[in-house]
Amino acid sequence: MEIFKNYINGQWVSAKSGKTFQNINPANRDDIIGEFALSEQADVDEAVVAARKAFKSWKLVPAPKRGDLLRKAGDIFNRRKEELGRIMTREMGKPTFETEGDVQEAIDTAYYAASETRRLFGHTAPSEMFEKANMSFRVPIGVCGIITAWNFPVAVPSWKILPAIAAGNTVVYKPSKESPHSGVIFAEIMEEAGFPAGVFNVLTGKGSMGNMLVKHPGIDLIGFTGSTDIGCHIGEICGRMNKKCSLEMGGKNAQIVMDDANLELALEGVLWGAFGTTGQRCTATSRLIVHKDIYEKFLGMLKLRAESLILGDGLVKGTQVGPLIHEQSLQNCANYVAKALQEGGRLICGGKRANDGNLAKGSFYEPTVIADVLPTHTIFMEEIFGPVLAVTKADSFEHAIELQNTCDFGLSSSIYTKNVNNAFKAIRDIEAGITYINAPTIGAEAHMPFGGVKGTGNGHREGGWTVFDIFTEWKTVYIDYSDKLQRAQIDNY
């Protein structure tokens, strides 16, 4: 069995304890991908020391020179795109056409971050005093601890790691225990691109190791993507330590379908939004809000198509829906479906494990649609992270917006309508960080801000130019060339 190591200070090293853990293919429990270093406190300490040392010199490298290395990393991601896609599919399940798209996000982010190293603009402003200049500019923060989920094991880390490094920070990265192989490949690519030792470090391990990163006094910033419960826990720790953190957490995203919508287009949208990545996205379409005049018709269309989706190993061509990440997630879906039916929901399709033939070796759950869901139902409010769609009837446009906003989360949203006035009202009134018009709730692009409101996050935005607000601090400079003491707000008034 292949054994994979940590990447610390430019070296591939085993965990100091010698301990490992196994990574298993969710589509086939008999397929053990390999053993990975089970990192503990000593490993975290070593990586942080390396990152702190590297920061002293890395922050002095001219930003465009840092961008040159990021561009090389993008080229390598591009060269290894198909290979990395298959590696990702094997360890986390989604079909290769999705995982290759995942890698493409990293490619896009690498090139974008590289170009932004020439646009880390500051601001100048007039002084209120004679013979005095005012200016401000961005400076890196220090060592960034990056912790990400398994469902986008290359794209989401790239949103954090590459801009952080572009800005002059160094990184200690903990990939999810469910997708450590992708993290190892990420390190291989950064090493080949030529980043100096200590600038980027990868530690594989379980949740307790992530906690060590968060609590480590040598970590200056935490960038996290994962569950709301863990994110809130991280926020509490960082608050006590006065440590900057960016939290990207849960979602309960709704697609609205109005009676004037292109129903075939809306159908394609909800199928992709609800069952792409087997519903295991923070932006997945978990709720469907349909106008009463087309409610039953659209349910019929949805049932027909959802039942025809092809489940299987993501490495097999033609597979449309892969497995859930593990048995615990499958049982979680089953529990939510049972609760939904108990509370009055109507099962349209799915609702059980798929275990015919080769599917029996994996954690497969049928694409599931539950109708007549009310805002008081558990399935309407809580994130499931699986291929389970809750459908609710709306009496009007205003009612649909009210239903959309009746939620503790506010990440992504969608409305299908041909009414331009209602489209713009939806843009104004929907409480979410992202809104799509006539498109599903998934499909973010690397050069635009990404993040949400309410329980989805703590106000930061990854992606685009806004990500640099996370990974830099502002430094303000005053230059007085009057050759005398000038007291602002006193001597000039």
Q: Active site residue: 282, 333, 349, 407, which one?
A: 282
Does the active-site annotation cover 116? Answer: no
Q: How far apart are CA 440 and CA 268, in angstroms?
A: 8
Which residue among the candidates 248, 366, 383, 462 is catalytic per the annotation?
Answer: 248
What region does 390 belong to: left with phi over 0, alpha with psi -120 to 50, or beta?
beta
Q: CA 299 → CA 124, 217, 288, distances in Å?
A: 57, 53, 10
- Residue 481: what are its φ and ψ, rounded to 5°? -115, 30
CA dist 391 → 130, 255, 259, 288, 350 (Å): 65, 10, 15, 5, 14
Residues 6+ apart with CB under 8 A from 486: 129, 130, 132, 480, 492
Q: Is 282 a catalytic residue?
A: yes
- DSSP bridge pairs for 223: 146, 246
Active site residues: 248, 282
